[in-house]
Chains A and B, each alone.
Chain A
Amino acid sequence: MAGEDIRNMLDVDRLVHEPARLAIMTILYTVEAADFLFLKRQTGLTKGNLSSHLSRLEGAGYVAIEKTFEGKIPRTICRLTDAGRKAFEDYRDWLKNAIKSTESKQK
Chain B
Amino acid sequence: MNPDIDKMAQRTRRYWYEDGLVEIAAGGVFLWGTTVILVSAAIAAVLGAPAALVVAAGLIFLTTVGAMTVAKGVRRAVNAVKNRVTYPRTGYVAYRAPKAIKRSPAGMIGLAILTVAGSVIVAAGLGVLARRLPDWALSMPVSEGVLFGLLLALLGYRLGLARFYVLAALSALVGAGVALTTDPYNLLSAAVYFGAMGIVLIGSGGLALRDYLRQNPLPADGDADEYEEV
Contacts and interface: CB of A to CB of B under 8 A. Distances in A.
B225 A73 contact: yes
A101 B218 CA distance: 48
Given A23-B1, A37-B219, 12 more contacts: A30-B8, A31-B12, A32-B96, A36-B227, A38-B90, A41-B90, A41-B91, A42-B8, A47-B227, A55-B229, A73-B88, A73-B224
Interface residues of B, number: 29
A22 B9 contact: no
11 contacts: A19-B1, A30-B9, A35-B92, A36-B227, A37-B90, A38-B92, A40-B91, A47-B226, A51-B227, A70-B87, A75-B225
Contacts of B2: 19
A55 B227 CA distance: 10
Contacts of A31: 12, 93-96
The interface size bin for chain A is 35 or more
The 9 closest A-B pairs by CB, nearest first: A38-B91, A37-B91, A76-B227, A35-B92, A47-B226, A55-B230, A19-B1, A23-B3, A32-B94
Most B CB atoms within 10 A — which of A30, A50, A51? Answer: A30
Interface of B: 1-3, 5, 8-9, 11-13, 15, 83, 87-88, 90-97, 219, 224-230
Contacts of B11: 42
